């Protein structure tokens, strides 16, 4: 995830009311007080398990919408519990939605995702992937 929100059931979100209002108004369409179980079930932090998939978490340290502290906590807990690789990249000076506009930072982030996925495919091939044309990479 890029600049994810990992603790939906924390109505403070570390940044005032902006994110809480967005979640209530546009995503959940109910307030936290009216539907705390929906917020909890949508919180990735409550879905962490030993079987969590490999993860590359990217977050800017200047994100004013999704607090970087949540990303740090999520990555640390995922690393502690998951048997799969967890990589956390915190981008100095990056804001929320930093990759919307083409920049060197965006190109580096995209390149990093590409390298992570290539490494993951090489070191952790999907089960049953041998010979499956849908998921077996072609050789150039």
| Phi, psi for residue 36 in degrees, rounded to 5 | -60, -30
pLDDT digits (tens, 9 = 90+) for 73-97: 999 999 999 999 999 999 999 999 9
Q: Collect all residues with Cβ–Cβ distance below 8 Å to 69 and sequence separation of at least 6.
A: 14
pLDDT digits (tens, 9 = 90+) for 27-67: 999 998 999 999 999 999 999 999 999 999 999 999 988 98
Q: Collect all residues with Cβ–Cβ distance below 8 Å to 63 and sequence separation of at least 6.
A: 3, 94, 95, 96
pLDDT at 129: 57
Distance CA 40, CA 56 (A): 22
How does strand 86-91 pair with strand 55-60? parallel
The pLDDT confidence band at residue 10, using thresholds 50, 70 and 90, is confident
Q: Is 140 helix (H, G, I), strand (E, B) or coil?
A: coil
Kindly state the DSSP code that residue 54 receives in the 8-state scheme. P
């Amino acid at each position: 995830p890029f600049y994810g929100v990992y603790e939906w059931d924390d109505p403070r979100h570390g940044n005032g009311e902006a994110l809480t209002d967005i979640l209530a108004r546009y995503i959940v369409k109910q307030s936290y007080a009216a539907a705390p179980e929906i917020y909890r079930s949508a919180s990735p932090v409550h879905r962490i398990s030993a079987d969590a998939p490999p993860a590359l978490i990217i977050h800017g340290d200047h994100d004013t919408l999704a607090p970087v502290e949540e990303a740090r906590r999520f990555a640390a807990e995922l690393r502690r519990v998951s048997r799969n690789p967890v990589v956390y990249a915190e981008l100095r000076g990056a804001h929320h939605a930093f990759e919307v506009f083409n920049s060197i930072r965006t190109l580096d982030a995209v390149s990093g995702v590409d390298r992570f996925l290539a490494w993951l495919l090489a070191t952790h091939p999907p089960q049953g992937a041998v010979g499956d044309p849908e998921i077996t990479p072609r050789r150039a």
